[in-house]
A and B are shown apart, each in its own frame.
Chain A
Amino acid sequence: MADCSAQLQSQLRQARESGTAIHVQGSGSYARFISPPTGQELSTREHTGIVSFEPTEMVVTVRAGTPIKELEQRLATENQQLGVECPQLSEQATIGGAIAMGMSGSSRPFTGAMRDFVLGVRMLNGLAEDLSFGGQVMKNVAGYDLSRLMVGSQGRLGMLLEVSLRVLPCPERRLQLVLQQPEYSDAVDFANQLLAQAQPVTGASWYQGQLHLRFAGRSATMDRLQKDVGGETENADWWAALQRWDMPWGASAQRYYCQDAQRKPASSQPWLADWNGRLIWSAETDQGTATDSDAGLRAQIEQRLCRAFDPDGLFGGVAA
């Protein structure tokens, strides 16, 4: 529970003066999934703790090195929760790492993406300047939205010191159901029909003929859904495994976004659909995302943006 902002700023200043490349290091929980970092480590691990939490405002401000588990426990004492499920690849996984990687969990198409819950950041840029963007209020359009740009930026724009997040009330009850749906397209349609009735769906994933559905809301709604939707009640293990990126086939997986939920992946390897068909996990490792026609232009803009935050190019890579 310490504020290490000043030390981190001074470490970064020294690195800048000596021209040493650095990488931001959290708990290292994503290490298996990304290429090894280069340069000197700038660690968030001591920079932990909740800076402020105002349950009536539904806003929490937290230091980057705070373990997600610790943050969730604190929110739970006020019957609140994060709006997005952060991947929990280890017990020590930090909120800073989750923001840096920007990977939203199973509730994403139903309740929002990780960046949707970011209200503000405090960060060190490549000039070792201590900057704040956004804030702690729900709506803020003053200046460019640099706080949401930090989500998924993998430490290339600077070091996140603090993040302010919008949080949500915990639902009265949650319900998990599993249904036999041999045809993938039927499963997608089935979940879509529930969504079209404005049922409080918070998860819809399909694997090998089974549709896993998740809901959250009032007790009366959960009772009714249990009766109306059918299938079997299951515990939350299926969803917890997805949050750990723990695939049923065990081996490592590639994750890619699918524009059209109804399109079934053509793959001989095992695959799993989350986000009701918008996110595919595949055992195939060479799937790759489609190359953009403007990849050259976008790469140029991104490079210029990185330089805009980090003119000397200190932030080489990330290890979240």
Chain B
Amino acid sequence: MSGVHDPEIDDLLPQVDANRLVASLRQLLPPESILTSDEQQRPFECDGLSSYQQLPLVTVLPDTVEQVCAIMKLCFAQGVPVVTRGAGTGLSGGAMPCASGVLLVLSKMNRILEIDANNRRARVEPGVRNLAISEAAAQYGLYYAPDPSSQIACSIGGNVAENAGGVHCLKYGLTVHNIEHLTLVTVAGELLEVDGHGESLDLLPLLVGSEGMLAVVIEITVELKVSAPVVEILLCAFDSVQGASDAVAAIIAAGIIPAGLEMMDKLALTAAEDFVHAGYPTDAEAILLLELDGCASEVDADLQLAQSILRDSGASSVRRAVDQAQRELFWKGRKNAFPAMGRLAPDYYCMDGTIPRKAIAEVLGWINELSRQRDMPVANVFHAGDGNLHPLILYDANIPGATAAVEEFGALILEKCIAVGGTITGEHGVGREKINQMASQFNDAELEQFRRVKAAFDEVGLLNPGKNIPTLKRCQEYRAIRSDS
């Protein structure tokens, strides 16, 4: 069953008077900040999940907070849906435009407003790129820790909307753990500040990861971390996925908290090796990349312990990066694993389920079996330390029916994640992509609670309609189909 908008089971979109809307927008914004033609808007019709596409009625690119407030007030008054977009690198269709709505693109708001080195924080606009924060903070020996693979391109506003993760979340947390203060614009165009230090409800963790459904983030104060003086990386080869999984469990159980602990299976590591020549052992069934950071005495002790655990876990080789160049090379393979898939198939579909670490080998084995049965290759490259899987199903979207078959396979994987005590998404968000599986993870009362929370911020439902929380009707239909199959 597809996630595409279906008027039979999804909420109806409001009727919008496009001419009146555009005329009103022209009162608020300079001409170059308003895009109305199909050609101009084509680059914005999807985010990183290109299988979900939709042109908006109009695209606006405000430059100031005042303009954002004015746009929101206008849309609120005219009953126009608003979808907010940052850099458009999201992987769940969360920034897919709404056919009868405004696409609010915040990429022009890309100023770093302040770096407060003494208090280790930075105040930035939402369009600032994730990596640009770390680059600006580097002169103070500081950096912003959450590092999605798209960090060169993705925006901090999008990171906040999705509660983005990355390879260093294991030690330094997700976006929500690294945000001190947010300024938001409500659906009615009012400014709202949250910092989690009031005596009232702590709205900050609710707003982080709310996928543009509750308010528009227009200023973010992030916490900066101190760049570790010592970093070590081990590249470990295993003869089996089971062996690598056992090593992950053993390292965590020994009380080591690695800065990163990533796993790649044979298909993924071979493709990455062919692509960037990182020096990965292509005869291995799986590799682990283990990063340790901190002050010298802490890292030394953890390194010795980790090496002995890895040997005991049956690693066929353990290589320590000798210098910064080799550390970067080891990471380069991992960070380019997704684009490397292009060497194996024209398209890939990336899943994001998260499971208890103890279930990693079982679930990967199960996926492998289904992959064989369905003749759809799956490469695995993921955050093993926190159990966040990223199975990449390889396919060719030009073959009729292939996309539907891949989505069906993906749905089975997500349901397996729920069955072993996990979740359908660890860091990519629900968006439009996983709207159906929300009906598997939550019961009707829980989903209704989500809808009431949404209504507390946005009663009419103008913000990012159709995303994140499925309608009751869609849930019923999806559950009926699942129970039949």
Using a CB–CB cutoff of 8 Å, the interface residues on chain A facing chain B are 54-59, 79, 102, 112-113, 115-116, 125, 127, 129-133, 135-146, 148-149, 151-153, 156-157, 168-170, 172, 192, 195-200, 217-218, 220-221, 224, 257, 259-262, 289, 292-294, 297-299, 301-302, 304-309, 311
Contacts and interface: CB of A to CB of B under 8 A. Distances in A.
B249 A135 contact: no
B203 A298 contact: yes
Given A133-B446, A260-B119, A142 B424 contact: yes
A81 to B, nearest CB: 11
B396 to A, nearest CB: 29
Contact of A170 (B165, B255, B257, B453): B255
B456 A304 contact: yes
A120 to B, nearest CB: 9
Interface pairs A-B: 5 shortest CB-CB: A169-B255, A148-B205, A139-B426, A138-B386, A304-B456
B176 A148 contact: yes
B449 A294 contact: no
A70 to B, nearest CB: 22
Given A55-B253, A79-B255, A294-B192, A138 B354 contact: yes
A45 B469 CA distance: 35
B177 interface: yes
B253 A142 contact: no
Secondary structure type dominating chain A contacts: loop
Given A131-B445, A294-B191, A308-B449, A302 B253 contact: no
Contacts of B208: 145
A153 B438 contact: no
B201 A153 contact: yes
Contacts of B201: 149, 152-153, 156-157, 302, 305-306
Contact of B356 (A57, A132, A259): A57
Nearest to A135: B423
A305 B205 contact: no
B202 A152 contact: yes
Nearest to B227: A198
A129 B445 contact: yes
A252 to B, nearest CB: 16
B423 A116 contact: no
Given A116-B177, A146-B206, A218 B468 contact: no
B426 A140 contact: yes
B386 A307 contact: no
A218 B388 contact: no
Contacts of A200: 294-295, 298
Interface in B394-440: 421-430, 434, 438
Nearest to B190: A297
Contacts of A261: 118-119
B253 to A, nearest CB: 4
A151 B209 CA distance: 17
Contact of B295 (A102, A136, A198, A257): A198
B429 A141 contact: yes
Contacts of A145: 163, 176, 205-206, 208-210
A129 B448 CA distance: 11
Given A131-B445, A262-B118, A144 B210 contact: yes
